[in-house]
Structure 1
Amino acid sequence: MLQIRPAASESDAAWARRKRAFAHPTLAAGARSASKLVKREKGIWQRRYWEHTIRDDRDFERHVDYIHYNPVKHGLVSLVADWPHSSFHRFVERGLLPSDWGGDAADTTGSFGE
């Protein structure tokens, strides 16, 4: 989640540079589809994004929860705390969330769609 100042207006090129700076050290070289190679895309980025203004504290909580749980939902880890790149660790340090928040996906059965 990014907080963007209303006066700040960044070009698509600026966002592309920011994404490249993040993705380069984060991702190990791996197999990518021909489409992703041609479009110079990495597997972590969606082709589209959506902008949403947070309406209130509850809306903020829902979005943060979604972001924190995403690596579990996509099978990258079974515990939210196991994802090293998450802001979840700061929330735990500040006492805002318990370290076992989200439970263990290994204990969950079923299929949950998106």
Structure 2
Amino acid sequence: MPNYRRITITGGTYFFTQVTYQRYPWLCGALARSTLRASIEKVREKYPFAIDAFVLLPDHFHCIFTLPEEDSDYATRLRLIKTFVTKTCKDKLKLKTKTTQSRKKRKESNLWQRRYWEHVIRDEEDFARHCDYIYYNPVKHGLCKTPQHWRFSSIHRFIAQGIYPESWGRDRVPDIPMNVGYE
């Protein structure tokens, strides 16, 4: 069995990608959205963290979390969020994905991929590049023409706060290095 090495930094800021099982597109439905939001809020009560940036797509989400100064345990937060969503949604969604023998043996559902992608945000420039990646992702996947047209994104908050101009990503594709989101 592989031994995954994950970097943990107390009070760190992290970029995450969590994908649905077999990339089945169930995340943007009303039940999934409301359950994911409630799950995040429930986890934040016991394990606080700030959500710096977030985008929800049909088959995955990207986000940037910042943990409290004395804490480095992002894995528990992600696990609990996935668990709460699974317990609420698994019987209601009626997904057409097959549960493999391996998943049955481990008592896993067919909602999420087992693993997630994580990256430690190193500095302000790295943070900005990952925000650009997050906010342009719905356009990249052909879900909308401009980032502002995607409802399930915190870009609207960034625009309202003056962090991004209203026209960001409309007239030109942002310069996002190829390795952002995958390094």
Q: Residue 33 of structure 1: which of 97, 111, 130 is its match?
A: 97
More helix by share: 1
Question: In structure 1, what is the Cα distance between the partners aligned to 2:123 and 2:155?
Answer: 20
Q: Number of residue pairs matched?
A: 102
- Aligned-pair identity in percent equals 32
Relative to structure 1, is the Cα distance of residues 65 and 14 closer, same or farther in structure 2, using a 3 angstrom cutoff? Answer: closer
Does the CA-based 8 Å contact 1:69-1:80 persist in structure 2? yes
Match of 1:15 in 2: 78
1:89 counterpart = 2:152: no
Higher RCO, Cα 8 Å, sep 6+: 2
In structure 2, do the counterparts of structure 1 residues 78 and 47 end up closer, same or farther at CA, with 3 Å as the change threshold? Answer: farther
Residue aligned with 1:50, SS? strand
Coordinate RMSD, CA, aligned:
3.6
TM-score of the two chains, using structure 2 as the length reference: 0.43
Match of 1:110 in 2: none
Q: Does 1:42 align with 2:111?
A: yes
How far does the alpha carbon of each residue in 1:81-110 deviate from its partner, in whole angstroms, 9 at most, with x for none? 1221211001110112122211279xxxxx
- Unpaired stretches in structure 1, ≥5 consecutive residues: 106-113
SS in 2 for 1:2: strand
